[in-house]
Amino acid sequence: MSQNNNITPPPAKGGAFSFSFNPFASRITAVTPREKKLLNPDLNILADNSLTAFVDMLKRNKLRRIVVMTGAGISTSAGIPDFRSPSTGLYANLAKYNLPYPEAVFSINFFRKSPQPFFTLAKELYPGCFRPTVCHYFIRLLAEEGMLLRCYTQNIDTLERVAGIDESYLVEAHGSFASAKCVGKYRKPEPIVVSTDVPSLQDETTTSDSDSDIFLEESDFKACGKEYSQDWVKGHVFDDKIPECERCQGIVKPNITFFGESLPKRFHAMTHSDFSQADALIVIGTSLQVQPFAGLINRVGAKVPRLLLNMELVGVDDGSKTHGFDFEGDRHEYRRDALFLGTADAGCEALADLMGLGDKLKDLVAREHAKLDCDEAADKEKSAPARTESDEKPEVAAAEVVAAAVAVDEVGEILNELKL
């Protein structure tokens, strides 16, 4: 008689699975996803959740359509600290503007009325003073090896571009400083000054849960949409001038995503085909807190191996979410998630070594950093913008700021964290 016909099955030992036809016990002893994988090893896309297992899978199946998703964690070793760190002094220079709430600096409608706080901040977080990290060059190497389908980044620091990753490989999900355009400006008779007493023109707004935001009709600002280069805007910012449109005198804003703005069209245009085509996913240096970006990890096929390189465990399917990572293989039908806990650079170095690309990566980083050293020396010859008011490092993880700006629902939470 087989075990399956026993009315009372033997107790499971050492994690062994068991079947039962006892109707009272069936709910308790239903086959779990983990047990299914013991029955059918083909459900184990990865042997375990290690980096080695992930790379074995890449090699064995010659996977070459890798989608990479990144966040602020890949830029921290470039000297861009987390904006939540009090030592960055991010908002210190904005105190004189008496913002109605800190994130107003990233509200599109507030910006049209009072652009100065943003440009004060922008002067400090403008890209150009930072060198791409090992991680950025690893992504470029994937592209050069013909293994990168696309890199989705939440960062607005443009370090992917500085690292030499062709823009055709990039989706800058929260925009970037790389380009700018006229967004018009508030044209009501009131003078454009920053005040705590910001008029609330309408109660209805779809973009913020704050009653301090300002709702503008398009006729109030008349954006012509003329595009401008990063250098053109940067020139104005470092000369302490508000960049004004040459055609309509509107405000010219870098194309980073503010409260009240949609994500870039390219994000929506690319995600469907990229994530359905991807044959592997690598997620690096992001807390996966901001939607819709975070939800992208669930857009790849159910058998597509996924790797998380991060300082801490994030994005895990704990039963309360619709999906997420399943590093233990006990929730989803297929075991396909791998994990490396550590810095983005350490993870990418380890990954490159296992892929046989370790030496190429080291060479690439050394060569490119040497080039940037030359560029920086040349730039210093010209003129370095003076920074005053604080000896603290003023740079901030702009991506995190804008990520916060996009995640409108999280404003209250972030305010609490900032204790502002």
Interacting residue ranges for Zn ion, rule: CB under 5 A: 182, 224, 226, 245, 247-248, 250
286 in a labelled binding site = yes
Whole-number minimum distance, CB 60 to Zn ion, in Å? Answer: 55
Strand 170-172 versus strand 148-153 pairing type: parallel
Contacts of 144 (CB under 8 A, 6+ apart): none
Residues 245, 221: contact at Cβ < 8 Å? no
Compute the distance between CA of residue 127 and CA of residue 412 in angstroms, rounded to an integer: 28
Angle, in degrees to the nearest 10, between helices 116-125 and 230-238:
100
Q: Which is nearer to Zn ion, 248 or 311 (CB)?
A: 248
In terms of Cβ atoms closer than 10 Å to its own Cβ (0-12, 13-18, 19+), residue 254 is: buried
Q: Which is nearer to Zn ion, 36 or 226 (CB)?
A: 226
Compute the distance between CA of residue 325 and CA of residue 46 in angstroms, rounded to an integer: 13
Q: Is residue 217 helix, strand or coil? A: coil
82 in a labelled binding site = yes
How far from chain centre, in Å, is Cα 330? 28
Compute the distance between CA of residue 57 and CA of residue 51 in angstroms, rounded to an integer: 10
Whole-number minimum distance, CB 406 to Zn ion, in Å? Answer: 24
For residue 338, give both structure tokens: 């791998």
Whole-number minimum distance, CB 353 to Zn ion, in Å? Answer: 51
Q: Which is nearer to Zn ion, 84 or 226 (CB)?
A: 226
Compute the distance between CA of residue 395 and CA of residue 376 in angstroms, rounded to an integer: 17
Compute the distance between CA of residue 15 and CA of residue 340 in angstroms, rounded to an integer: 26
72 in a labelled binding site = yes
74 in a labelled binding site = yes
Q: Which is nearer to Zn ion, 183 or 297 (CB)?
A: 183
Q: Is residue 84 helix, strand or coil? A: coil
Q: Report the catalytic residues.
A: 174
Q: Which is nearer to Zn ion, 109 or 343 (CB)?
A: 109
Q: Which is nearer to Zn ion, 180 or 351 (CB)?
A: 180
Whole-number minimum distance, CB 364 to Zn ion, in Å? Answer: 41
Residues 252, 244: contact at Cβ < 8 Å? yes
156 in a labelled binding site = yes
Q: Which residue's entry shows tokens 């003078």?
A: 191
Compute the distance between CA of residue 95 and CA of residue 180 in angstroms, rounded to an integer: 26
Whole-number minimum distance, CB 208 to Zn ion, in Å? Answer: 25
57 in a labelled binding site = no
Compute the distance between CA of residue 285 and CA of residue 288 in angstroms, rounded to an integer: 9
Whole-number minimum distance, CB 235 to Zn ion, in Å? Answer: 17
Compute the distance between CA of residue 140 and CA of residue 352 in angstroms, rounded to an integer: 12
355 in a labelled binding site = no
287 in a labelled binding site = yes
CB 47: neighbour CB atoms within 10 A? 14
Annotated binding site for NAD(+): 72-76, 82-84, 154-157, 286-287, 310-312
Annotated binding site for Zn(2+): 182, 245, 248
Annotated binding site: 72-76, 82-84, 154-157, 182, 245, 248, 286-287, 310-312
